[in-house]
Amino acid sequence: MKTISAGDANRHFSNLLRDVASGKVITVLSRGKPVATISPAYGGDVQRQAARLCLLERLRQYKASGARNWTRDELYES
């Protein structure tokens, strides 16, 4: 993870956005302390896709019977 001062982030914002668009996560520091993290907007999609695949794998363990033989809690347990 890259860090940058708030002043440099302000002065080089276009470059910062290019870095973030290429997948980098950047922490902005103010007086040496982290105040913000800038990450790609699609970062949440990766987690959502992983959760979806996990759910589908769990559903494949049940035989298709047309009957609901599972509870919502069983479906979403980790």
**59 neighbors 35 (Cβ within 8 angstroms):** no
Could you give the dihedral angle defined by the CA atoms of residues 17, 22, 25 and 31, in that order, rounded to the nearest 10 degrees? Answer: -30
Give the torsion through C-alpha atoms of 57, 61, 64, 70, to 10 deg. -100
pLDDT at 16: 94
Q: For the whole model, what pTM was predicted?
A: 0.53
The highest-level CATH class for domain 2-38 is alpha beta
Residue-range domain boundaries for the chain: 2-38, 44-76
Q: What is the pLDDT of residues 26-56, one digit of tens each?
A: 999 999 999 999 988 875 677 788 888 988 9
